[in-house]
Amino acid sequence: MRTPRPLPKLPEQFSAGEALAIGVPKKRLYASDLDRSLHGVRHSGAVTPTLLERCRMLLLRVPERSFFSHATAALLWGAPLPFHMEQDERLHVGVPSPSPRLHSRSIAGHRMDIEDGDVTTWGDLPLTTPARTWFDLASSLSLGDLVAVGDYFVHHAAPLTDREELARVLAHGDGLRGIRRAREAIGLLSERAESRPESRLRVLIATSNLPMPEINRTLVDTTTGKRVRPDFLFAEHRAILEYQGDYHRSRNQWRKDMSRRSRLEAQGWRIMELNADDLIDPAELVSRIRALLKRR
């Protein structure tokens, strides 16, 4: 295979127009050593560009008032999204109304009514704030996943926004898609949630006429003094739900979990361990949890 001709001095990310202007042949812009995933721009690095790099590439060709929004903004903020949204290579780009939304095979364009304070910067990238991003996702996420994103944004350890700011965005959302789901979701948020599956499980419990558990409440073993924090604790029923993510597969974590469960059961707690497969059939899971709580 013929080695592509070296490019003249260009930044790692450049627009096709920039290259053509300094004499690069159009055919050279389609060589195998250049990433062409975004129309009109190129990346000359040796590896596939990251989301951050792709966003910087796109800024070379979009209007100045453009900003990243929806799923792209959520991923830039680090929020947990469903797998299919994480794998979607389109970049979500918003423009303020009444500007026409952007069209491209690599872009999901949005024309948006933007209030003061809805757009900020993350490093050198313009994007919607966490609160506005959360609201914009209400039209495309399930209630459980919308709550999971909200939980992430308001988490007590490193909050990116708060309930007051979310409520401010909701106050300007009358008539917009997703407003009803967002209003339901804001009342279900928790600053103590630790993962997307935990958030989804909590929403399932809250919407299934089950008693509401305490989230990550610390218990102390009166014999050993060891502290444990069950995921979901039904104190009145002496029952605990524990979500086991993939990280529990390690030998050390598995041993710790066994010891913790043994100590809890010795104190009279009944424990149900759950994983991602249990969330596939919500009705069956609710029935199982209800049976656990009825046992004495």
pLDDT in tens, 183-220: 999 999 999 888 899 999 999 999 999 999 988 788 87
pLDDT exceeds cutoff 90 at 230: no
36 confidence band (pLDDT: 50, 70, 90): confident
Domain boundary among 186, 217, 243: 186
- 159: tokens are 């909050």
pLDDT exceeds cutoff 90 at 289: yes
247: number of Cβ within 10 Å: 8
Choose the weakest-confidence range: 64-68, 159-163, 170-174. 170-174
Choose the weakest-confidence range: 26-40, 80-94, 101-115, 273-287. 26-40
Whether 118 and 201 share a structural domain: no
Sequence-distant (≥ 6) Cβ neighbours of residue 160 within 8 angstroms: 77, 130, 152, 153, 154
pLDDT exceeds cutoff 70 at 249: no
What is the C-alpha separation between 82 and 257, in angstroms, rounded?
A: 27
- In one letter, which amino acid is 209? N
Give the angle subtended at the CA of 151 by the CAs of 200 and 178, to the nearest 5°.
75
Whether 134 and 170 share a structural domain: yes
Choose the weakest-confidence range: 58-62, 180-184, 257-261. 257-261
Say what the pLDDT of residue 143 is. Answer: 97
- Environment class of 101 (CB within 10 Å of its CB; exposed 0-12, middle 13-18, buried 19+): middle
Whether 270 and 173 share a structural domain: no
Say what the pLDDT of residue 31 is. Answer: 87
Say what the pLDDT of residue 174 is. Answer: 87
User: Is 128 a domain residue?
Assistant: yes
User: 182: closest CA among 132, 222, 119?
Assistant: 132
pLDDT average, residue stretch 242-250: 72
What is the C-alpha separation between 16 and 27, in angstroms, rounded?
A: 11
User: Is 55 a domain residue?
Assistant: no
Question: Residue 127 forms beta bridges with which residues?
Answer: 68, 120
pTM of the model: 0.85
Whether 108 and 139 share a structural domain: yes
Domain boundary among 168, 186, 204: 186
pLDDT average, residue stretch 254-271: 85
Range of the domain at 87: 67-186
Say what the pLDDT of residue 46 is. Answer: 66
Instruction: Write the CA distances from 26 to 9, 31, 62, 156, integer angstroms.
Output: 16, 10, 21, 52
What is the C-alpha separation between 29 and 76, in angstroms, rounded?
A: 28
Whether 181 and 208 share a structural domain: no
Strand arrangement of the beta sheet that strand 214-215 belongs to: 214-215, 232-234, 239-243, 270-274
Across 64-78, 162-176, 209-223, the highest mean pLDDT is recorded for 64-78
User: 96: closest CA among 72, 74, 128, 124?
Assistant: 128
